[in-house]
Structure 1
Amino acid sequence: MNNSEWANKNYYADLGVSSSATDEEIKKAYRKLARENHPDKNPGDKAAEDRFKKAAEAYDVLGDDKKRKEYDELKALLASGGIRGGFGSGGAGFPGGFRTSTGGFDASDLFTGAGQGGGFSADGGLGDIFGGLFNRGAGPRQSARPTRGADVETNITLEFVEAAKGTTIPVELTGDAPCSTCHGSGSKSGHPTQCSTCNGIGFTSENKGAFGFSAPCTTCGGSGEVITDPCDNCHGTGTVRKSRSITVRIPAGVEDGQKVRLAGQGEAGPNGKPAGDLFVKVHVKKDKIFTRDGNNIQVSVPVSFSELALGGAISVPTLNKPVKLKLPAGTPDGRTLRVRGRGIETRGNTGDLMVTVQVAVPKDLDEKATAALQAYAEAEAESGFDPRANWAGKNR
């Protein structure tokens, strides 16, 4: 998210707080919304998922003092009309380049440097001016060195039961790791030198007419430091390619396609900068017995006609050990019975085991079984039982 997109956002409203809210009030509001609208708590609820994402995006900005200050400055500038007054038709020597057909303006022009009809490029256009205002240069001036390592994504495949119960699994990764020779600094001495161009502040200032703006220092890339004695092992980058194995804990109830984030387990940042994050995408194999519906587990169990007619107890599998399930006498074929608390547990919410009973009809009967069944059929007919008595198609 860059601040060209902030112009149309109302992050305070997304969190339900005022613009004067304290850091603690913002954090409290975010946690409440995240808890109420978390996808695990509202499976399949698109509206709740959207509210969860909006709250997370809002907190990412308002929960960071620097980003919040930039956001407030931008919204205040837009609200004051200062942009329209300075860059309207004929304003500041720019003949009508930033007014739309309705007399307004496209706020994205302020950050892209591509005004409608104005013909301004990123070099010297409004993107530079407003990029400087927020210390975020536009176009080719965005040459600052990375402030953290790259994020990494990897894939793992789990059995159904592993995903349902949670597990730990080793993951092999190859990527940038801190150089062991210079301990990630990139410098032989371990002490980078202050950049003489920007005097260690990471950016330089320029004036363009009536406007002053800043941009990342091109010498040090915005870091404020330069390596004058590069490490022989990493050549001054502070990182080397290495293979490593880490153990990833997969929480119970993870679904197929979900990603597990491990903060700081991605690639190492250059010259001692923080590492990126590791995202583990989970693929779940189909199970021969179980299927899943939210936190509930579904299983179909074959039974005999006599078990349904006379009732009794059958053994059914669960995620752990089998349990006994009582069948009431006269249970119809295809009925689903619930075993509470034997489903998937996520964040304190436990689902149920849903057992569907299905009659298994024998293909071959011995003489004794055949005789007994024929006797039963005769007794059934004498009792007046008609299996199609209430069937809609009986008289058609």
Structure 2
Amino acid sequence: MADHYEVLGVARDASPEEIKKAYRRLARQLHPDVNPGEDASEQFKLVTHAYDVLSDPDQRQRYDLGGDSGAFGGAGAGFGGFSDIFETFFGGGGGGTRAGRPRSRRERGQDALVRVDLTLGDVVFGVHRDIEVDTAVLCETCQGSCCQPGTQPVTCDICHGSGQIQRTVRSLLGNVVTSQPCTTCQGYGTTIPYPCSTCQGQGRVRARRTVSIDIPAGVETGLRLQLPGSGEVGPAGGPNGDLYLEVTVAPHDVFSRDGDDLLATLEVSMIDAILGTSVTIDSLDGPVDLEIRQGVQAGDEVTIRGRGITPLRGEQRGDLRVAVQVVTPSHLDPKSRALVQELAKRTRPAPPHLAEFHPGLFSKLRGKFKR
């Protein structure tokens, strides 16, 4: 085995600070994230192992005396005072692994959110949609293994599959053994010597896929529908996250919604309001015949049962409520004006006067005529 001092390029009497500086300089040059070559990877392992031994006073002493140097330490800063003790306890212990148990490469995928634009007609009856979603999907080349076909992960020769390395730190309380994620395998316990060329060792790729869904009747703007397991596939082929569909309902030119009911306004001429009439209107699910009674007043309501919205959790549809708006002619020719004057003489209508106040009248009228 190569001499640890020669690997780090330091003298045998080098101080802990000189050893630390040498390691950091070499690590920046040889780390797999910076230098992907195989030779660099092997050199990085040698440098890391040499530093683990020489940064620990006990292991360095045994090594200098010709003893066993195979006890692996951490790839962090060596001890050399209070700063290293604080770094050991507070600066380098993260990484998401638990003692004795390596991390799993398989993780749950993220949830995805897609907006779905609907019409009021879609809300009344429900609708089937095929939605295009751009998310992470399973890599077809490696099927989530992250490895080039025909290869597989190998046990990390630094942490021997545990995903962690241990350091012995001398403190005021004596020697303290701490665990940290292995920097060579990132805490997984294995390395991938030949990553999949399609997904770059991720086990998943981004792609556009189609999700089919039946959107139920009764949804409204802002509602989110959850599709469990239809989100992004996780790293290394981990379980899918969920897909959320956020509903947006476009305004309608004629109809508006009030709970499970539909509202509309019907303009009626003064003559039809006086005499009454029949009319056919186009509802969202076909023609509907309406009877306008004689003497109908502005703000009166005609209700057509079962022509509203099917509730989200239920089967009984709401109603279509049509508010009457009496349209008074603004211009009359002389003959028509004479006829109206004659009608006024015959019916002798009461002159305009203030009626008894009804607190709910104005809000009622606003509700009738809103769109």
Distance 1:304 1:228, change over 3 A: same
Query: Does structure 2 retain, via aligned residues, the 8 Å contact 1:192–1:225?
Result: no
- Residues 282-327 of structure 1, C-alpha deviations (whole Å, 9 max, x = no match): 2222111111111111111111223333333333332211211223
Structure 2 partner of 1:272: 237
**Residues 1:353 and 2:342 aligned together:** no
Larger Rg: 2
Distance 1:229 1:344, change over 3 A: same
Alignment of 1:373-388 (within 5 A): 373-381=340-348, 385-386=349-350, 388=352
**Residues 1:157 and 2:124 aligned together:** no
The whole-number CA distance in structure 2 between the counterparts of 1:297 and 1:341 is 10
Aligned residues: 262
Post-superposition offset of 1:333: 0.9
Give the AA of the match of 1:375: E
Distance 1:136 1:235, change over 3 A: closer
The whole-number CA distance in structure 1 between the counterparts of 2:269 and 2:87 is 77
Structure 2 partner of 1:10: none
Structure 2 partner of 1:391: 355
Structure 1 partner of 2:147: 187
SS of 1:309 mapped into structure 2 = helix
Post-superposition offset of 1:154: 2.1
Query: Does structure 2 retain, via aligned residues, the 8 Å contact 1:156–1:282?
Result: yes
Q: Which runs of 5+ in 1 are unaligned?
A: 1-120
**Residues 1:318 and 2:252 aligned together:** no
Q: Which runs of 5+ in 2 are unaligned?
A: 1-85, 168-172, 358-371
SS of 2:339 mapped into structure 1 = helix
Distance 1:150 1:255, change over 3 A: same
- Residues 128-163 of structure 1, C-alpha deviations (whole Å, 9 max, x = no match): 9xx9xxx997xxx99865621111112232223223
Give the AA of the match of 1:253: G
The structure, 1 or 2, with the larger RCO (C-alpha pairs under 8 Å, 6+ apart) is: 2
**Residues 1:176 and 2:136 aligned together:** yes
Query: Does structure 2 retain, via aligned residues, the 8 Å contact 1:316–1:325?
Result: yes
Query: Does structure 1 retain, via aligned residues, the 8 Å contact 2:147–2:153?
Result: no
Alignment of 1:102-181 (within 5 A): 147-181=107-141
SS of 2:116 mapped into structure 1 = strand
Distance 1:302 1:267, change over 3 A: same
Distance 1:242 1:307, change over 3 A: same
Name the TM-score, length of structure 1 as normaliser: 0.53
The whole-number CA distance in structure 1 between the counterparts of 2:211 and 2:154 is 36
Post-superposition offset of 1:224: 7.2
Query: Does structure 1 retain, via aligned residues, the 8 Å contact 2:123–2:309?
Result: no
Post-superposition offset of 1:124: 5.9
Query: Does structure 2 retain, via aligned residues, the 8 Å contact 1:189–1:229?
Result: no
Alignment of 1:358-377 (within 5 A): 358-366=325-333, 368-377=335-344
Give the AA of the match of 2:314: G
Structure 1 partner of 2:256: 291
Post-superposition offset of 1:228: 4.5
Give the AA of the match of 1:172: E
SS of 2:355 mapped into structure 1 = coil
Structure 2 partner of 1:98: none
The whole-number CA distance in structure 2 between the counterparts of 1:387 and 1:202 is 94
SS of 1:377 mapped into structure 2 = helix
Post-superposition offset of 1:365: 3.5
The whole-number CA distance in structure 2 between the counterparts of 1:272 and 1:144 is 11
Post-superposition offset of 1:331: 2.2
The whole-number CA distance in structure 2 between the counterparts of 1:332 and 1:189 is 80
Post-superposition offset of 1:367: 5.0
The whole-number CA distance in structure 1 between the counterparts of 2:166 and 2:313 is 51
Post-superposition offset of 1:187: 2.2
Give the AA of the match of 1:272: G
Which deviates more from structure 2 when the two are superposed, residues 308-317 or residues 267-276? 308-317
Query: Does structure 2 retain, via aligned residues, the 8 Å contact 1:198–1:204?
Result: yes
SS of 1:317 mapped into structure 2 = strand
The whole-number CA distance in structure 2 between the counterparts of 1:322 and 1:334 is 23
**Residues 1:281 and 2:241 aligned together:** no
**Residues 1:337 and 2:302 aligned together:** yes
Give the AA of the match of 1:258: L
The whole-number CA distance in structure 1 between the counterparts of 2:219 and 2:163 is 43
Distance 1:336 1:223, change over 3 A: farther
Distance 1:275 1:223, change over 3 A: farther
Alignment of 1:256-267 (within 5 A): 256-267=221-232
Post-superposition offset of 1:168: 3.0
The whole-number CA distance in structure 2 between the counterparts of 1:200 and 1:377 is 101
Structure 1 partner of 2:215: 250
- Residues 218-241 of structure 1, C-alpha deviations (whole Å, 9 max, x = no match): 877777765444212112211112
Alignment of 1:63-78 (within 5 A): none
The whole-number CA distance in structure 2 between the counterparts of 1:300 and 1:205 is 78
Q: Percent identity?
A: 36
Query: Does structure 2 retain, via aligned residues, the 8 Å contact 1:144–1:221?
Result: no
Give the AA of the match of 2:343: Y
